Amino acid sequence: MADGRAGTTEPVAVAAAVGFHGVGKTFSVPGGGTYTVLHNLSLTVGAGEFVSIVGPTGGGKSTLLNLAAGLLVPDAGDVLVFGEPLRGLNRRASYLFQSDVLLPWKTAEHNVMLGLQFRRLPPAEARVRARDWLARVGLAGFENRYPHHLSGGMRRRVALAQALIIDPEILLMDEPFSALDVQTRQIMENDLLELWQEDRKTVVFVTHDLEEAIALADRVVVLSAGPASRVLGEYTVGLARPRDVAEIRLTTGFLDIYRRIWEQLRGEVAKAYAQRQR
Ligand SMILES: Nc1ncnc2c1ncn2[C@@H]1O[C@H](COP(=O)(O)OP(=O)(O)OP(=O)(O)O)[C@@H](O)[C@H]1O
Ligand SMILES: [Mg+2]
Q: pLDDT by residue (tens digit) across 159-216?
A: 999 999 999 999 999 999 988 888 889 999 999 999 999 999 999 999 999 999 999 9
Residue 119 CB neighbour total at 10 angstroms? 11
Q: Is the CB of 63 under 6 A from ligand 1?
A: yes
Residues 219 and 49 sit within 8 Å (Cβ to Cβ): yes
Asked if residue 56 has its Cβ within 6 Å of ligand 1, the reply is no
Q: What is the chain's Cα-based Rg?
A: 20
Residue 1: predicted pLDDT: 37
* CA–CA distances in Å: residue 24 to residues 20, 72, 97, 125, 227: 10, 11, 22, 43, 11
Task: Indicate whether residue 60 lines ligand 1 (CB < 6 A).
Answer: yes
For helices 123-136 and 108-118, angle between their N-to-C axes, nearest 10 degrees: 130
Q: How far is the CA of 55 from the centre of ligand 2 (A)?
A: 10
Q: Which atom of ligand 1 is nearest to the CA of 66?
A: 18
pLDDT band, residue 23 (cuts 50/70/90): very high
Q: How far is CA 276 from the centre of its chain?
A: 26
Q: Please name which ligand lies nearest the alpha carbon of 38.
A: 1
Is the model's pLDDT at 85 over the cut of 90? Answer: yes
Per the rule left: phi > 0, alpha: psi between -120 and 50, beta: everything else, 243 is beta
Q: How far is the CA of 52 from the centre of ligand 2 (A)?
A: 13
| Higher-scoring residue by pLDDT: 4, 219 | 219
Neighbours of 86 (CB within 10 A): 22
Residue 108 backbone dihedrals phi, psi, to 5 degrees: -55, -50
Question: Taking the model in full, what pTM does it have?
Answer: 0.92
CA 195 – ligand 1 centroid, Å:
30
Which protein residues have their CB within 5 A of the ion that is ligand 2? 61-62
Ligand 2 center to 90 CA (angstroms): 19
**Atom of ligand 1 minimally distant from the CA of 28:** 4
Residue bearing the CA closest to ligand 1, atom 26 = 57
Cβ–ligand 1 distance for 70 under 6 Å, the answer no
| C-alpha 64 to ligand 1 mean position (Å) | 10
- CA–centroid distance, residue 60 to ligand 1 (Å): 5
Mean pLDDT of the chain, nearest integer: 92
Residue of 62, 92, 67, 69 lying closest to 78 (CA atoms) = 67
5: pLDDT confidence band, cut at 50, 70 and 90?
very low
- Ligand 1 proximity of 35 Cβ (cutoff 6 Å): yes
